Each structure stands twice: as structure tokens, then as C-alpha cells.
Amino acid sequence: MPAALERIERLVEGGGPHQVATVNPEFVMRARKDAAFARVLEGADLCLPDGVGVVWAARRLGCDLRDPVAGVDLVQPLAAMCARRGWRLFLLGATRGVAAELAERLREANEGLEVNAHSGGPDPTHDVETLHRIHDHHADVLLVAFGAPAQEMWIDRLKNRLGVSVAIGVGGAFDYLTGRVPRAPVWMRRARMEWLARLVRQPWRVRRMAVLPVYAIKVLRSPR
């Protein structure tokens, strides 16, 4: 996390646009069959390992990664950094009212933080209003919670019109941070078993997670 925040800080200092993706094994498997999604991930300025599966694969293939950096864990320290540096933060996505509630919580936790929010949507019909709100706030950092791959494709499509230095896809982070979806107990997170808690609470994820055994086999078969 400290290294991720340092890299993002340098990206903001350098001016935009920059795209940051939080990549999990499901991203990797989707990118293998979705050329457009693969192009966006390959072209991102920074890809963070969202999940122990990516860290495991990276280590096995010789990359020096210590720990996962999940989107949900990135939001609060990133907000603190924005408050400290005087950067404006914008939250986009989730269902109506969720982003606004999280913005208020972050504002209360970080004195001086300039943060605004809008639910919006990835469909182009929302673009005019969404861009107007982001520009009106003079945002430096944008967090997008449309879910993958919609959020990554949306950022890629509009990044030259957003006017922000860094845009990051954070999936369901807003729902977790506002308590709408409970997170796994701390001991499960420390044991890298948060995926199991999500599966129990959201059994529909089983179809998405069905790719994980295939992912593991492909990693094991990959040349080091």
C-alpha cells in the first residue's frame, strides 16, 4: 500500500491523464478472451494487485510483489493523501446516494478534504452530466465504482476529457465502505480469505469465481 500510494502521488504530481487499474484474477482471465479489455489493462499507467491470487502469480513468475492492494483498502488512505496535498477528490458510481454518503464520511475523517460525488453510469447517455460535475469540481483524482470491466472501459474512453490527473476503478468499494455490503472479519482478511466471505454473502459470485481454478492451472503451467 505505501508503494502504491507513492506511485499514485507521483502520477498526480505529473499531471494527467493517468489510469490506474486494480487487477484481480478475474480481470486476467477476462483479458485473455476480451482484446479490448486486455488493451486497456496493458495501457494503464499502473496496475495494482487486487487479491492474493495476483500476488502469488507474480511471485511465481519472478516479480517482486509483497502484498495485495485492493481497491476498497485504497480509498481511505488515498483520501487522506488528497487532504494532505490539497488535491480534490471525486467519487463516481454505485447506486444513487452511496457515493455521496461515502464522500461525507471521508470529509468528516479528513479535515480540509475537497470531495464531491455523483452516481452517474457507464452508458454514454450519462457522459455530459458526469463530465460537467467532474469539471465543475476541478477534480484531481477520480474514483470510479461502475464494476469491471465497465469502469476500466469508461475511464479509457473518456480519460482525455475528464480533466483529472488520475482515474482509478475501484469496483464495489463504495458499497463496502458505507456498510451496505459487510466486509469479511479482520482475521479472514489477514488470512487472505476475504474471497470466501464474499462468496458466502453473495453466492451469485460463484459463476465469476469459476475461472479461478483455470487461472491457477495456467499460472502453474507458465514458464518462470
Q: What is the mean pLDDT of the chain?
A: 91
Distance CA 125, CA 106 (A): 29
Three-class DSSP category at 180 = coil
State pLDDT tens for residues 155-173.
Answer: 999 999 999 999 999 999 9
List C-alpha distances in Å: 81 to 2, 6, 10.
Answer: 11, 10, 12
Q: Is residue 111 part of a domain?
A: yes
Query: Could you tell me if residue 160 is inside a domain?
Result: yes
pLDDT digits (tens, 9 = 90+) for 43-85: 999 999 998 999 999 999 998 888 999 999 999 999 999 999 9
- C-alpha to C-alpha distance for 75 and 81, rounded to whole angstroms: 10
How is residue 126 annotated by DSSP? G
Domain assignment present for 223:
no
What are the pLDDT digits (tens) for 12-27? 999 989 999 999 999 9
> How many domains is the chain partitioned into structurally?
1
Dist. CA 60–CA 10, nearest whole Å: 28
- Find the CATH number of the domain harbouring 20: 3.40.50
- 175 within a domain of the structure (yes/no): yes
Is 161 within the bounds of a domain? Answer: yes
* DSSP-assigned letter for residue 172: T
Structural domain contains residue 24? yes
Question: Residue 122 pLDDT more than 60?
Answer: yes
Q: What is the pLDDT of residues 91-111, one digit of tens each?
A: 999 999 999 999 999 999 999
Q: Which domain holds residue 71?
A: 2-183
pTM over 0.85: yes
Give me the mean pLDDT over the 111-121 stretch: 97
Instruction: Write out pLDDT tens, residues 206-218.
Output: 566 677 888 899 9
Q: How confident is the model at residue 192 (pLDDT cuts 50, 70, 90)?
A: low
